[in-house]
């Protein structure tokens, strides 16, 4: 299955928080989108890996992605090495996306920066023909594939975006996808310990960040992304 966009997140819910509205808009416009979670978020204070598995499936259904996979890397302890890069390469070659979205380049959680660099490095290596990978012990060697672009969404820290996407009309869908992770976010009835993301202020911040980025480009809502390389456009009027 060839996808237009493949979004990676170090933990289930990273993609939804960072790029949920962008993904919802892309799907509404006919794009095929998939998500790959690197870990099951098993070190999270609230919930469990099994709960987050079911929440991730529910969230994927809300967004309408055509595929979601979890690589089962060790939460908090995965590294950017050959073994982990090869697993990312297998996903990139399996889905052959034009665009890859991945974690923030710098953030509060150490897995976010690590995941960002791991995915970015693997996307480059995926284009090298002499790196051979096989999917699920298949006999056939996967064909090399390098995405056209890798974009990094923004998470906890207020990084300055290199570009923003108008996502007006898709914030409600993003919020619904986020709240599918009911174990993680604000619930006044929950007996779970409080965490930095379980407060009402955190959920509100997702909305007001999008409103503020939208304000800066004259729309209702926007999501921001950073890039490692120059981004080109076909025509000057592609910019708004």
Which residues are 99's β-sheet partners?
5, 149
Supply the pTM of this predicted model. Answer: 0.96
Percent of the chain with pLDDT over 90: 89
Q: What's the pLDDT band for 188 if we cut at 50, 70, 90?
A: confident
- Residues 37-92 have pLDDT tens digits of 999 999 999 999 999 999 999 999 999 999 999 999 999 999 999 999 999 999 99
Q: Look at the block and give the residue holding tokens 């672009």.
A: 149
Handedness of CA 202, 206, 209, 211 (dihedral sign): negative
Q: How many independent structural domains does the chain possess?
A: 1
- Residues 121-171 have pLDDT tens digits of 999 999 999 999 999 877 899 999 999 999 999 999 999 999 999 999 999
* Helix ranges restricted to H, the chain: 14-28, 49-63, 82-95, 110-125, 171-179, 200-217
| CATH number of the domain where residue 52 is located | 3.40.50.10320
Say what the pLDDT of residue 95 is: 98
- Expressed as residue numbers, the domain containing 40 is 5-238
């Amino acid at each position: 299955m060839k996808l237009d966009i493949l979004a990676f997140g170090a933990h289930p819910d990273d993609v939804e928080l960072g790029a949920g509205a962008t993904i919802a808009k892309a799907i509404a416009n006919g794009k095929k989108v998939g998500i790959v979670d690197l870990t099951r978020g098993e070190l999270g204070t609230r919930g469990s890996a099994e709960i987050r598995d079911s929440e991730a499936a529910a969230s994927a259904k809300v967004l309408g992605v055509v595929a979601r996979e979890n690589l089962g890397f060790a939460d908090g302890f995965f590294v950017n090495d050959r073994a982990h890069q090869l697993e990312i390469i297998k996903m990139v070659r399996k889905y052959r996306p034009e665009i890859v979205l991945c974690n923030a380049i710098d953030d509060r959680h150490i897995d976010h920066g690590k995941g960002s660099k791991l995915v970015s490095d693997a996307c480059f290596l995926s284009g090298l023909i002499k790196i051979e990978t096989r999917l699920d012990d298949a006999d056939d060697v996967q064909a090399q594939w390098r995405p056209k672009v890798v974009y990094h969404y923004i998470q906890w820290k207020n990084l300055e975006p290199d570009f923003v996407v108008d996502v007006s009309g898709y914030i409600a869908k993003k919020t619904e996808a986020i709240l599918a992770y009911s174990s993680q976010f604000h619930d006044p009835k929950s007996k779970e310990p409080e965490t930095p993301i379980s407060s009402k202020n955190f959920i509100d911040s997702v909305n007001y960040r999008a409103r503020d980025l939208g304000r800066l480009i004259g729309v209702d809502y926007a999501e921001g992304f950073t890039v490692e390389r120059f981004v080109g456009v076909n025509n000057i009027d592609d910019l708004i």
